[in-house]
Amino acid sequence: MNNRKGDAFIGAAFVLVVGFFVLMLFFAPGWDTGLMSGKIIGYDTALFGTKKVFVLEERTVFNEGSGYSQSQVVLCSDHNDYDIHKLIEENMNQKVVIEYRERRVGFYTWGYCHESPITNITRQS
């Protein structure tokens, strides 16, 4: 009799743990917000319509006194943000300033970025 209670407890615990991990797939913990300058070097449309944007970010190297450091950064735009999608395509291989100001914390479905999405792109002169 005690063995059945133990098996039921283990089964319930397993269902709760699996349920928690499935629920966390929809949780967005991103707190990033800010501006970035660089060059859009590519984009890819993900399975549910979000766009992953590859940016070659340029930063001043402060420790060495002068020069620039470049690194590739991956940003995201929501599936239904067609204005941003158009700006991404128009500004390919251009130096741009990208804003990602919307803080994204909470539960979102598959078509939305699970990090801070791009909110604006402006071309540098």
pLDDT tens-digit profile of 66-110?
Answer: 555 667 788 888 888 899 989 999 999 999 998 887 666 666 677
Tally Cβ neighbours within 10 Å of residue 98.
24
Report the chain's terminal Cα–Cα distance, integer Å: 77
Cα separation, 115 vs 125, in Å, equals 28
Select 27-123's CATH number: 2.30.30, 3.30.450, 3.10.450, 2.40.50: 2.40.50
The model's pLDDT over 3-61, given as tens digits with 9 standing for 90+, comes to 676 677 788 888 888 877 776 666 666 666 778 888 999 888 877 778 888 888 876 65
Tell the residue number behind the tokens 């970035």, with chain if given.
Answer: 36
CB 98 within 8 A of CB 67: no
pTM, two decimal places: 0.64
Structure tokens at 11: 């089964």
**Helical (H) or strand (E) element with 9:** helix 2-24
